[in-house]
Amino acid sequence: MTVFDSIVTPSWEELAQITSIDKLINFMKSHKDASVRQGAARRLGVLANASAIDSLVVTLSSDGNDYVRSEAAKALGEIGGSSAIDPLISAWLNDKDYKVRINAARSLAKLRSSRAVEHFIAELRDRGKFGNEGNLEAACVALEVIGTPVIPSLLAALKASVQTDNWWFTRVILLLLCNLGDASTIGPLENLLQGWPTTEQQDCNRSYVEEAIAVSKGVRQKKCDWHSFFSW
């Protein structure tokens, strides 16, 4: 970075005109103004050049400003690449800021990361270590975006939730399966329904199993709005 670059504070409009990846990386890594670092990270995401991944990963894990880390998480989702997956999973699991975790989840969903699936499911099973409803909503949305590849994991989680009487987790998994509406779930759900538990709360979930089967058969249409569900 030149002496001039270290002094100047470009606006986001000016950053949006820069095409030099190296210059944007220098701004993101070194500028004292967090808004400049944030804008540079955003521009790197727009340009989607893989040479910026390593620098974005460092920013995601170490920048002291949550808006900058959040923008780095989004940019990694725009650029993609397998080397972005583990840092995004780490941000989803460990970053203390809500915005960073949500954008990490969105990027992992955009990248259709199978490695992230179990982490999203665990967030729902444990009701979130951060105690944030937005985190739970983000996990559901991410699983839904990844789509049919998550179904085997969801069915396994459903069976375990029934055995442990985790009725809330059971309901969320059933709503996810309902939203996915895939015919491959019909047989497993019908088999599970035959031995459905009679505990009061799990018995209430029986209708959700029936709903998921009906949707998967194309008999009925239903879509859970996750924002409404978690705001209830």
pLDDT in tens, 31-61: 999 999 999 999 999 999 999 999 999 999 9
Residues 5 and 23 sit within 8 Å (Cβ to Cβ): yes
Q: Which residue has the tokens 């194309």?
A: 218
Identify whether 105 is part of a domain.
no
Identify whether 101 is part of a domain.
no
Mean pLDDT of 13-21: 94
75 and 154 co-located in one domain: no
Count: domains in the chain: 2
Identify whether 57 is part of a domain.
yes
- Distance from the Cα of residue 136 to its chain's centroid: 9
Residue 65: give its domain's CATH number.
Answer: 1.25.10.10
Boundary (domain end) residue, out of 65, 80, 95: 80
Identify whether 224 is part of a domain.
yes
Identify whether 106 is part of a domain.
no
DSSP character string of 100-165:
HHHHHHHHHHHTT-GGGHHHHHHHHHTT-TT--HHHHHHHHHHHHHH-GGGHHHHHHHHHHHHHTT
Residue 6 has pLDDT above 80, yes or no: no
| Half-sphere exposure for 210 (CA within 13 Å, toward CB) | 8
Identify whether 9 is part of a domain.
yes
For residue 1, what pLDDT is reported?
47
For residue 109, what pLDDT is reported?
93
Structural domain including 5 reads 1-80
As a whole number of angstroms, the distance between CA 20 and CA 136 comes to 38
Q: Is 202 helix (H, G, I), strand (E, B) or coil?
A: helix
- Distance from the Cα of residue 25 to its chain's centroid: 25
Identify whether 56 is part of a domain.
yes
pTM of the model: 0.83
Boundary (domain end) residue, out of 80, 98, 119: 80
